[in-house]
Chain A
């Protein structure tokens, strides 16, 4: 790990490299909270790229603002089509603010715009507070520079300096920069050692190295350039700490190049200052020194956060099975995907026709529609939540537990109309599990179904979880958001195939828990035992679920625990 000053200096260099030619690098993923340090970076970018400001995109930007479209009010006023220009169609560098909130639809569009290679580059300002939040992969993978500004104190953030003549010279030199054919292999090996699977990262590293050589005033990519490229493009994406001895020792002879341009005249020995290591090992060593010491812990936290949320950090996607329920239209701007309500628009324009016909100078044919007349359709959309109760109906305390679960379900359904919750109930006992209540919002049906519930027998936890998983998959296919509440006090003692084999049962339950986690179903495990049950908290961990010991669960406290632990719709 290096000091803050050193990191700041390397950021300065990174921005200089970016400024030489932004488009091939895709852009910058700037992870930082709002503050003077981030402002400094933006200011530096402005200086380096010699602009006054960057066009800003926000996460809810409309397609028309992005790509341009028909300017309806101007079109109506003039009588012939007038197009507006979109922010992306101009190319250049743009800023995406609050990038952590950008939805995958926007990210896909930005990624597509980058892929079209129109000279666009994007600076994504990511203010994610927690691991697992943050810019989605589809865009971050396409941004060459990943800068993490946290832990840089304001005192270290000096004003950045750029030599504009050097940048201009570097720009002119860039097309002449060549690199040794071995560099492909070296960068690929370093990427592999760091666990970077994306090939785009290697491409970005190669381009950065070329930019670096150009900035140094050299036509040949040197070891130092590669090292810088690794530090800027590969190290921030590392997912593992490289082993000390890289798997491949000797470099096999390079196959003959077909492209003449890739055959530079006898490259100088890239090793400098008597380093004994072959270049890529030296690169890996250098990369290792740059890795943050808490890398592994952070990666684990990221994975956990991602898995428990089951999304790429862009928030819960609402599928909205009630999408498109039209409500009354109202006056508004066209754009942002708004749909015009033609009839209402004409109706609102109708009373004015006489007046407008008199005041409009060249008499147009047809109706006079002004901007104020335009009515757009409104749609109501929301995503329904399903809470699947998985209740242990085995053993002695089965009756009371079932009764409380029933109570909690009824309480939830009581508020269902306000909150759009659906509830389902899976009970497991004896040799298997039954879905006692399919997802429903009907209180009446629930009461009738749950009147008398059988209890007793073994604990086929795995079977219960499996039924719940099936149900969760089914409901999410219907556009609902499933969550699980597991109520039990015992350890699994009946395996999936129905046999009373404690070891197998435990393993099956673990496997099902893993499958649930893989599906990204949020869950809570409520331990209703008198004392915390051994192993149940571990199972909750595997499931990515909250573990709540609740020895004397009554319907109210159960309801409160579930409400607190599961994400709201």
Chain B
């Protein structure tokens, strides 16, 4: 696709955009899950974000996008070792992809035609230092989910099969989208996403009109439309770069840590991942806003997306977990 729909031109869906920007600032937050109605711009947002991200520097021929020559895995036969700027990699993981395609496998072509034992890198290798996008993540086959969990946690892909023993780094931001009506996500995978947001079709007629209008303008003349939004996209890109620089200098005082813990305790989220993500997300939010330390306002801004998917589900609770988080936030952080 020559032109992606500009990220800044997406109408509404602020939570989704915010969550994606936070992961762009701090990849360590650990991915975004976007759950919601059809046709709400989930995949459009991912493509738009990628078009807007600053490029990475990497070895040109490296299958895992290594930053320096020393990082090139020893199995890779890299011909071109020049350092170049590459766009941030985004890899689609299609449903029903075979395990071979995901983790990589023996290069059958080479094995049979030349009799060499070579490793053919999979999708996880290509996603290193970038984004792994899974549409309809809730429909993903179980064995792939297990595999992804393992890699996402360790940041390393280990292949032991058909007489090969290969390892390579696989650090990526997992972005999943799906429609909850078609199937739920396993709690283990749910927990592995740092942030989760719910998206809904806009109900307000003016918003809907604006969506259609912009999309139509985009369809009529892509280059022109992208150009007309280039400035706002550029502004976002600059603030991402600035926020990344600022990130390590953001101060965190003990009162904020206490708030995080109190919030998670009150909500009864499992494990400590909730606190950690909440803190990281709040820090990224503070960096984005140009603040020098994390405040309660930052916590409030990110708490629903960092915590709502970590609650124990109550089948009789009609309100939904986002509302529960909001209520608790108001009670705990006056």
* Interface of A toward B, CB cutoff 8 Å: 24, 63, 70, 72, 75-76, 79-81, 103-106, 108-109, 111-112, 115-117, 136-138, 141, 184-185, 187-189, 191-192, 197-200, 202-203, 206-207, 248, 258-259, 261-262, 311-312, 317, 319-321, 323-324, 337, 339-340, 342, 365-367, 369, 466, 469, 477, 479, 511-512, 515, 518-519
Contact = CB atoms under 8 A, between A and B. Distances in A.
Interface in B168-218: 179, 181-183, 186-187, 201-202, 205, 208-209, 211-213, 215-217
Given A109-B94, A477-B187, 20 more contacts: A63-B96, A104-B182, A106-B96, A137-B38, A141-B38, A188-B205, A189-B205, A192-B205, A198-B38, A199-B40, A199-B201, A199-B215, A248-B205, A259-B228, A262-B216, A323-B141, A339-B100, A369-B112, A515-B315, A515-B316
Contacts of A479: 142
Given A108-B94, A203-B216, A81 B315 contact: no
A185 B205 contact: yes
A200 B142 CA distance: 31
B99 to A, nearest CB: 8
B95 interface: yes
Interface of B: 1, 37-40, 43, 92, 94-96, 98, 100, 106, 108-109, 111-115, 135-136, 139, 141-143, 162-163, 179, 181-183, 186-187, 201-202, 205, 208-209, 211-213, 215-217, 219-221, 225, 228, 315-316
Contacts, number: 144
A317 B143 contact: no
A516 to B, nearest CB: 8
B268 to A, nearest CB: 17
Residue from B43, B113, B143 whose CB has the most chain A CB atoms within 10 Å: B113
Contacts of B1: 116-117
Contact of A469 (B179, B212, B315): B315
28 contacts: A70-B108, A76-B112, A104-B139, A105-B139, A109-B96, A138-B179, A141-B39, A184-B212, A185-B209, A188-B208, A191-B208, A192-B208, A199-B208, A203-B215, A207-B219, A248-B205, A258-B228, A259-B228, A321-B142, A323-B142, A323-B143, A365-B115, A366-B113, A369-B112, A469-B315, A477-B186, A515-B316, A518-B315
Contact of B115 (A312, A337, A366): A366
Contacts of B114: 365-366
A337 B94 contact: no
A312 B182 contact: yes
Given A108-B139, A200-B39, A70 B109 contact: yes
Nearest to A369: B112
Contacts of B217: 259, 261-262
Nearest to B135: A108
Contacts of B221: 261
Contacts of A115: 43
A109 B182 contact: no
Contacts of B139: 104-105, 108, 317
A105 B38 contact: no
Contacts of B225: 259
A104 B179 CA distance: 12
Residue from B37, B43, B96, B211 whose CB has the most chain A CB atoms within 10 Å: B96
Contacts of B228: 258-259
The DSSP consensus for interface residues of chain A is helix
Contact of A197 (B115, B201, B209): B201
A192 B220 CA distance: 25
A523 B225 CA distance: 53
B98 A184 contact: no
A319 B225 CA distance: 44
A340 B106 CA distance: 10
A339 B98 CA distance: 9
Given A109-B94, A137-B38, A321-B142, A24 B220 contact: no
B37 A197 contact: yes
Contacts of B112: 72, 75-76, 369
Contacts of A206: 212, 216
Contacts of B135: 108, 111-112
A320 B106 CA distance: 26
Contacts of A324: 143
Contacts of A105: 94-96, 139
Contact of B209 (A137, A184, A261, A339): A184
